[in-house]
Amino acid sequence: MTIDGRTEIYGIIGRPVAHSLSPAMHNAAFAALGLNKAYLPFEVEDVAGALTGLRALGIRGASVTIPHKQTVLPYLDEIDPVAAKIRAVNTLVVSGGKLRGLNTDWLGANRALAEKLRLGGSRVLLLGAGGSARAIGFGLLEAGAEIVIASRTPEKGQALARALGCPWLPLAEAGDHRADALVNATSVGMDPLAETMPVRKEALARFGVVMDIVYAPLATKLLQEAAAAGCQTIDGLSMLLYQGAAQFELWTGQTAPLAVMREALLAGLPQ
């Protein structure tokens, strides 16, 4: 990649960001299409100052990650309607000195699930009540799916269920439920607790499709057991890939090179 006076700069703001796979994914995509663009990680504590800097420096767009997906909201000039429902953004588009906030997490989840499942009219059991679950839940509603939330914390789970207009279950009862798809939007199964699962393996045959947003490890215990139970499985890299592809297309107006982006993500995973 050659950096010159015409290079357009994009990046990711968060804390921490050193571990992020997004720079490798987006820079590989820019290079594949011969675009004079570069994507950099920005460790940010001062959100207001960082967004002023984006405008002042002519940075064209940015990803937003933990812990800033909500803290950026007061500083934006425009918020996409779905992102406003989710109350979080993970994507910024900078144009004419104005900041527009969007959320592509839900697009990533929907596109990953749509490879295995017709979302409209489907019934999905969604595990978790954090930011990822919220984005995925609103995205599924946009697609016409029916949702049931299951979480360990009643207060958070019930609050999300009210926001989505759907039922809530204690996580301990999730295995008694039956649905077209199960989506794990919790951190259960992530390294270093890779041998843990959010539901018991005997329950997995109740679901046609099982998706896990955890991607380290890529083949989580949940996905291994789901495959053994005859389920179709979707790994966490798929949501990461598709949300990044949606960002790329917002920033460039070009079709994202998915194969190149997935290869870059796989190369960046811990060995």
Backbone angles phi, psi at 180, to 5 degrees: -70, -35
Report the DSSP beta bridge partners of residue 183: 126, 211
Q: Residue 186 has what pLDDT?
A: 94
pLDDT in tens, 77-102: 999 999 999 999 999 999 998 999 99
φ/ψ of 188, rounded to 5, equals -65, 125
Q: In the CATH hierarchy, which fold is given to the domain comprising 107-234? A: Rossmann fold (3.40.50)
Domain boundaries, the chain: 8-103+239-268, 107-234
Q: What is the mean pLDDT of the chain?
A: 96
271 or 136: whose pLDDT is higher? 136
pTM, entire model: 0.94
Domains 8-103+239-268 and 107-234 fall in the same CATH topology: yes
- Is the per-residue pLDDT at 192 higher than 90? no
User: What's the whole-number mean pLDDT along residues 161-165?
Assistant: 97
pLDDT of residue 141: 97
Give the catalytic positions in this structure.
Answer: 69
Q: Could you tell me the pLDDT band of residue 206, with boundaries at 50, 70 and 90?
A: very high
Instruction: Specify the fold of 8-103+239-268.
Output: Rossmann fold (3.40.50)
SS3 125: strand
Q: How many residues does the chain have?
A: 271
Extended beta strands in the chain, E state: 8-14, 37-43, 61-64, 78-79, 91-95, 98-102, 123-127, 146-151, 168-170, 179-184, 207-212, 232-234
Cα–Cα distance, 179 to 167 (Å, whole number): 13
pLDDT > 90? residue 191: no
First-residue to last-residue Cα distance in the chain? 26
The pLDDT of residue 15 is above 80? yes
pLDDT over threshold 80, residue 271: no
Share of the chain above pLDDT 70, in %: 99
pLDDT at 60 over 80: yes
Q: Are 81 and 142 in contact (CB under 8 A)?
A: no
Q: What angle do CA 230, 177, 115 make, to 5 degrees?
A: 45
Q: What is the 3-state secondary structure (H, E, C) of 64-75?
A: ECCCCCCCCHHH
- Whether 2 has a pLDDT exceeding 90, the answer reads no
pLDDT of residue 175: 86
CA angle 133-101-57, nearest 5°?
135
User: Can you tell me the distance from the alpha carbon of 199 to that of 42, in angstroms, rounded to the nearest whole number?
Assistant: 37
In this prediction, residue 187 carries a pLDDT of: 92
